[in-house]
Chains A and B, each alone.
Chain A
Amino acid sequence: MSAPPGGPRPPGIPEAVLRRSLPPGARWDAVLGDLHEEYLGRVARTGALRAGLWYWREALATAGRYRLDRGSDMEHRPTGLGKERGGGAGMDLVIQNVRYAVRRMGKAPFFTLVAVLSLALGIGANTAIFSLVNAVLLQDVPLERPEELVNIHSRSPDFRWGTVSFPDYRDLEERARDVFVGVSIMELGLVQVDRDDGSVDPVLAEGVSGNYFSLAGLDPALGRLLQAEDHVEPGAHPVVVLGHQYWSTQFEGDPEVVGRSMRLSGREYTVVGVAPEAYPGTLRGLEPALYLPIYMLDLAQGQEPSYERRGNQSGFIRARLHPGVGIPQMEAALERVARELQAEYPGEWAPDKVFAYIPTADVIMYPDIDRIMVPAAGMLMVVVGLVLLIACANLASFLLARAADRRKEIAVRLAMGARRGTLVGQLLTETVLLSTLGGAGGILLSVWALRVLQGADLPLPIPITLDLSLNGTVLTFSVLVSVAAGIFFGLAPAIQGTNPAVAPTLRDESAGGGRARGGALRSALVVAQVAVSVVLLVGAGLFVRSLQASQELDPGFGNEPVAMLQLVAPAPDYSGDEAVLYFRQLAERVAALPGIETVSLVDNPHLDQLNTQFTGVVVDGVPPPEGRDFHTVDWAVAEPGYLELVGIPLVAGRDFLPSDGPDAEPVVIVSQAFADRFFPGQDALGRTFTTRQRTVRVVGVARDAKVRSLTEDPRPFLYAPLAQFPTNLAWLLAGTRGPADPHVLSLVREARDLDPSVIVYNMKTMEEHLASRLLGRELGAQVIGAFALLAMLLASIGLYGVVSYSVARRTREVGIRLSLGAETGAVVWMLTRGGMRLVALGAGIGLAVSGLLAQFLSRFLFGVPALDPVTFVGVPLLLGAVALLAAWIPAMRAARVNPVGALRAE
């Protein structure tokens, strides 16, 4: 990754090819130098991709010219080249074989194109997906003795893998010294970096304890990492370690960066070091730009220090076991500490709350996410593997057909004394050449695909950083796959084709009858291709249907265009009440902007993937769950007008009013599900209950809207007025006339105008906010759908090849039938029928297999049964139609031939 001085380097492969093609000496070094220099210029002007393509083309073309030159007119060469030719007879043979193969391929350009393109698509898909999986799952994290490291979570009925509060972390570290060498904590935050030009840049930061890096055994790439002395008291350690990627991109890998200072939320921090390159942060895919002492994180985020709040659970805990300490011993220690905490802090530690652990090495990103991600990645690998299989089947089919065509030629050459090894060598060369071309095409395709992938503007709540470059592993993988495919599928036809059972072949062929021996194998390949395509299409169909079903789900809000801006009015400059004042001033200014219709504020909009917030609720007569003193309910703090703005109607009572101020009676609006849960069969209006140590009165009941996920059952929800429950963090929502998109930036501008120190966390439109909820399903449907269509296309190409080949061999028969008065239609059907029989067989097998596999998919599906009739009927129909076309075209062409000509041709 780290670029050597002198900037980017031209692509290595063509450079190496060119270097090897040029004679040694400074004169030809200059050729490499020219291309190198021009490449750099082009990178600057047209970008690395176009420059790279240019370099490939020019380097290979130049190499080609020199190689040709070397073979022919030597007299133009000023320096002696004679000894260069001494590559030995083996090399000459290879070159001769390659030339022969190129000539043969040129004679069947269509078939060659199909074979190469099939392979390129198959290999391209595999390389791209393998790069993705490699970036997500397989990249090694340089942790020291990872087998001793465990991640510790809190577990309760609400969260299987919950995070841990800072005081709990401290207690755990102190009380479990018998099993842990040390315990470290990390909290995520978005921190505002003040740039020199006055603009600000919100970046992801990890706030870490002083032992975080040493416990993991990480070494700095530069300077030092954070240590114990950076972790003494809140607010006292303004130092920062840069993430490696952030350092390379924002500081251009400046080696002098250590000791410089940078401003975070208006305060100077000293850069003390750079994190190691291979370390992706605590959560893979979320590489932080900065690592701060955890005692600085609240300040850097403009928040009131909250380290002592046991209820604020947002720490990710990693601990290292003493050597020799076993899992049972650790489990006992965790249980002991949890019991102590339950006894000491019953408010935060209900009897059903415990510590849970998972070995660090077993975690990729986060246990709950891994549960989805790992099978999804596995499935993706299987899908592209199947696509490659279909592509290889096309190559094999192509080679079998070629071998059958050449049996006569080969038989003659064998009869005339050609060595079998030579012939096999020639056939293999052709195969390997095909697969190499396919592999090269595949690499280009995957580079393009990864570029698209990386450039894709996905509506993710946080920017995901993955290193999606093609790395050595991936390159090796795809080259191996393509060469192996070539040898594997080339060897069988080559050996079969050169089988010295000469005489019968010659006789067979001259008689013009007889099926090629490869025929049965090719038919089997088509059946397999169709079956695999059906499986992929069914999978894709199920995903698309599932996406449709979830798109039809009504979130219950957000149908109108709304621009959204998430802000933090930083403490300690702002108290909660001052923050409210600021938010209201801003709302007034925004309301005056052209195109804005309504403005309101909320701290926790529905379906926010990054924020789930609860409040404890005590309702007379409704006993809390076993072992708890209160019910936990999702809640939000909002300004008057919020519900109307997002389109959640009140079914009873009233909205908040400006008069619901800090000194008025605390009021709330509850959702329908809340009313049903806590006041069943009664009128909720006017009832009171306790939350946040206050007695609140229900003044309104709102219709239910989806809170955490689109597929959930109605979930109780509580709205409280911002004026009575002030907060420093809020979303400003502006209902717009027409699309919200163009207004988002003007909201940012207004917010900064009013106070530049305010932190902008997030900005988006309601449309984007809702889209991110469906992103997983959408991506799933699109990716699998694309691969399934690719598979069907490849299988159809294979079928087309088989049918046209068998048709070509039956030209004579067709001629006879036509001249005896057969109807064209009947002949076409006769020719098509054979192909369609293969398709029917393949589709039957495919459907049966799909029926079994669909059961495994069901956990990814929503709103469709695993054996969805639409999918299981639609797929064979679609495939049948495409296959019919693929078989019909060559049959039709054959039936149009002039019967006399066809007979004469033999």
Chain B
Amino acid sequence: MGGDGYLGEFEQMLLLAALHLGEEAYGAALGQELEARVGRRVSRGAIYVTLDRLEAKGLIRSAMSAPRAERGGRPRRIVSVTPEGVAQLQASREALVTLWDGLEVLEG
């Protein structure tokens, strides 16, 4: 899973959810956003491991918020998608759109 190549499905979903959430993109919110929008259960462990990976690839950045009472006095890790991340998302989308070309009959 080097840094090149296309993004995995879950990576794309996480990046897109982070873009939707903007300032509010942190673990719990991402999980709930994905579950709400995609309608399937998302393992929290998968989120954190993927976030670490995306950060290692330079596709997201994280910043720590102040500790909060409703989190047992712990901070939020707010992630933001880097320009590099946005570019990769676009590339992945284009690749898919190209592949879908001519297969419109299959679309619902």
- In the complex, what residues of B have CB within 8 A of residue A29's CB? 74-75
- In the complex, what residues of A have CB within 8 A of residue B76's CB? 30, 33-34
Q: Do residues A58 and B64 form an inter-chain contact, with CB atoms below 8 A? A: no
Q: A residues 27-65 with Cβ under 8 Å of B?
A: 27, 29-38, 40-41, 58, 61-65
Contact (A34, B46) CB under 8 Å given A9-B72, A27-B62, A29-B75: no
15 contacts between A and B (CB under 8 A): A9-B72, A26-B77, A27-B77, A29-B74, A31-B27, A33-B71, A33-B75, A36-B74, A40-B70, A61-B45, A65-B46, A65-B49, A75-B56, A76-B53, A77-B52
- In the complex, what residues of B have CB within 8 A of residue A35's CB? 28, 44
User: Given the complex of chains A and B, what is the CA–CA distance between A715 and B31 in angstroms?
Assistant: 69
- In the complex, what residues of A have CB within 8 A of residue B62's CB? 27
In the assembled complex, the CB of A225 is this many whole angstroms from the nearest CB of chain B, namely 33
Contact (A30, B64) CB under 8 Å given A36-B71, A37-B71, A76-B52: yes
**Further pairs besides A26-B64, A34-B28: 12, Cβ < 8 Å:** A5-B69, A26-B75, A27-B62, A31-B48, A32-B71, A33-B68, A34-B44, A34-B76, A36-B70, A58-B43, A75-B56, A77-B56
Q: Do residues B27 and A30 form an inter-chain contact, with CB atoms below 8 A? A: yes
Q: Does A88 count as interface, using CB distance less than 8 angstroms?
A: no
| Nearest 5 pairs of A and B residues by beta carbon | A33-B74, A33-B71, A62-B45, A34-B27, A30-B77
> Which single residue of chain B is at the shortest CB-CB distance from A6?
B69
* Most chain B CB atoms below 10 A, which of A29, A32, A33, A38: A33
Q: Do residues A78 and B75 form an inter-chain contact, with CB atoms below 8 A? A: no
Interface string of A721-742 (1 = CB under 8 A from B): 0000000000000000000000
Q: Does B55 count as interface, using CB distance less than 8 angstroms?
A: yes
In the complex, which of the residues A65, A75, A76 contacts B45, with contact meaning CB atoms closer than 8 Å?
A65
Secondary structure of the B contact surface, majority rule = helix
User: Given the complex of chains A and B, what is the CA–CA distance between A41 and B44 in angstroms?
Assistant: 15
User: Given the complex of chains A and B, what is the CA–CA distance between A27 and B62 in angstroms?
Assistant: 9
- In the complex, what residues of B have CB within 8 A of residue A6's CB? 69-70, 72
Q: Do residues A37 and B75 form an inter-chain contact, with CB atoms below 8 A? A: no
- In the complex, what residues of A have CB within 8 A of residue B12's CB? none
- In the complex, what residues of B have CB within 8 A of residue A32's CB? 71-72, 74
Q: Do residues B49 and A69 form an inter-chain contact, with CB atoms below 8 A? A: yes
- In the complex, what residues of A have CB within 8 A of residue B69's CB? 5-6
In the assembled complex, the CB of B73 is this many whole angstroms from the nearest CB of chain A, namely 8
Q: Do residues B70 and A58 form an inter-chain contact, with CB atoms below 8 A? A: no
Q: Does A100 count as interface, using CB distance less than 8 angstroms?
A: no
Q: Do residues B44 and A27 form an inter-chain contact, with CB atoms below 8 A? A: no
Contact (A38, B75) CB under 8 Å given A30-B64, A65-B45, A65-B49: no
Q: Does A66 count as interface, using CB distance less than 8 angstroms?
A: yes
- In the complex, what residues of B have CB within 8 A of residue A61's CB? 43-45
In the assembled complex, the CB of B24 is this many whole angstroms from the nearest CB of chain A, namely 12
Q: Do residues A38 and B52 form an inter-chain contact, with CB atoms below 8 A? A: no
- In the complex, what residues of A have CB within 8 A of residue B74's CB? 29-30, 32-33, 36
Q: Do residues B32 and A38 form an inter-chain contact, with CB atoms below 8 A? A: yes
User: Given the complex of chains A and B, what is the CA–CA distance between A33 and B69 in angstroms?
Assistant: 9
User: Given the complex of chains A and B, what is the CA–CA distance between A38 and B27 in angstroms?
Assistant: 10
User: Given the complex of chains A and B, what is the CA–CA distance between A76 and B46 in angstroms?
Assistant: 14
Q: A residues 49-104 with Cβ under 8 Å of B?
A: 58, 61-66, 69, 75-78
- In the complex, what residues of B have CB within 8 A of residue A69's CB? 49
Q: Do residues B56 and A76 form an inter-chain contact, with CB atoms below 8 A? A: yes
Which chain A residues have a beta carbon within 8 Å of chain B's beta carbons? 5-6, 9-10, 26-27, 29-38, 40-41, 58, 61-66, 69, 75-78
> Which single residue of chain A is at the shortest CB-CB distance from B62?
A27
User: Given the complex of chains A and B, what is the CA–CA distance between A6 and B32 in angstroms?
Assistant: 21
> Which single residue of chain A is at the shortest CB-CB distance from B27?
A34
Q: Do residues B45 and A27 form an inter-chain contact, with CB atoms below 8 A? A: no
User: Given the complex of chains A and B, what is the CA–CA distance between A30 and B76 in angstroms?
Assistant: 5
In the complex, which of the residues B45, B56, B70 contacts A37, with contact meaning CB atoms closer than 8 Å?
B70
> Which single residue of chain B is at the shortest CB-CB distance from A32?
B74
User: Given the complex of chains A and B, what is the CA–CA distance between A6 and B70 in angstroms?
Assistant: 6
- In the complex, what residues of B have CB within 8 A of residue A31's CB? 27, 44, 48, 77
User: Given the complex of chains A and B, what is the CA–CA distance between A33 and B48 in angstroms?
Assistant: 12
- In the complex, what residues of B have CB within 8 A of residue A37's CB? 28, 68, 70-71
- In the complex, what residues of B have CB within 8 A of residue A62's CB? 43-45, 48
Q: Do residues A66 and B45 form an inter-chain contact, with CB atoms below 8 A? A: yes
User: Given the complex of chains A and B, what is the CA–CA distance between A61 and B49 in angstroms?
Assistant: 11
> Which single residue of chain B is at the shortest CB-CB distance from A25?
B64
Q: Do residues A38 and B28 form an inter-chain contact, with CB atoms below 8 A? A: yes
> Which single residue of chain B is at the shortest CB-CB distance from A38?
B28
> Which single residue of chain B is at the shortest CB-CB distance from A59?
B44
In the assembled complex, the CB of B54 is this many whole angstroms from the nearest CB of chain A, namely 10
Q: Do residues A58 and B28 form an inter-chain contact, with CB atoms below 8 A? A: no
In the assembled complex, the CB of B76 is this many whole angstroms from the nearest CB of chain A, namely 6
In the assembled complex, the CB of A701 is this many whole angstroms from the nearest CB of chain B, namely 72
* Most chain A CB atoms below 10 A, which of B44, B46, B75: B44
- In the complex, what residues of B have CB within 8 A of residue A33's CB? 27-28, 68, 71-72, 74-76
- In the complex, what residues of B have CB within 8 A of residue A30's CB? 26-27, 64, 74-77
> Which single residue of chain B is at the shortest CB-CB distance from A7?
B70
In the assembled complex, the CB of B36 is this many whole angstroms from the nearest CB of chain A, namely 13
In the assembled complex, the CB of A209 is this many whole angstroms from the nearest CB of chain B, namely 44
Q: B residues 49-68 with Cβ under 8 Å of A?
A: 49, 52-53, 55-56, 62, 64, 68
User: Given the complex of chains A and B, what is the CA–CA distance between A5 and B72 in angstroms?
Assistant: 10
Interface string of B23-45 (1 = CB under 8 A from A): 00011100110000000000111
> Which single residue of chain B is at the shortest CB-CB distance from A29?
B74
In the assembled complex, the CB of B58 is this many whole angstroms from the nearest CB of chain A, namely 11
> Which single residue of chain A is at the shortest CB-CB distance from B49?
A65
In the assembled complex, the CB of A161 is this many whole angstroms from the nearest CB of chain B, namely 50
User: Given the complex of chains A and B, what is the CA–CA distance between A27 and B27 in angstroms?
Assistant: 11
Interface string of B1-35 (1 = CB under 8 A from A): 00000000000000000000000001110011000
Interface string of B73-97 (1 = CB under 8 A from A): 0111100000000000000000000
Q: Do residues A36 and B72 form an inter-chain contact, with CB atoms below 8 A? A: yes
> Which single residue of chain A is at the shortest CB-CB distance from B65?
A30
In the assembled complex, the CB of A793 is this many whole angstroms from the nearest CB of chain B, namely 33
In the assembled complex, the CB of B47 is this many whole angstroms from the nearest CB of chain A, namely 8
- In the complex, what residues of A have CB within 8 A of residue B77's CB? 26-27, 30-31, 34
Contact (A27, B64) CB under 8 Å given A36-B71, A78-B52: yes
- In the complex, what residues of A have CB within 8 A of residue B75's CB? 26, 29-30, 33
User: Given the complex of chains A and B, what is the CA–CA distance between A186 and B49 in angstroms?
Assistant: 62
User: Given the complex of chains A and B, what is the CA–CA distance between A281 and B69 in angstroms?
Assistant: 35
Contact (A38, B31) CB under 8 Å given A61-B44, A62-B48: yes
- In the complex, what residues of A have CB within 8 A of residue B68's CB? 33, 37
* Most chain A CB atoms below 10 A, which of B45, B64, B69: B45
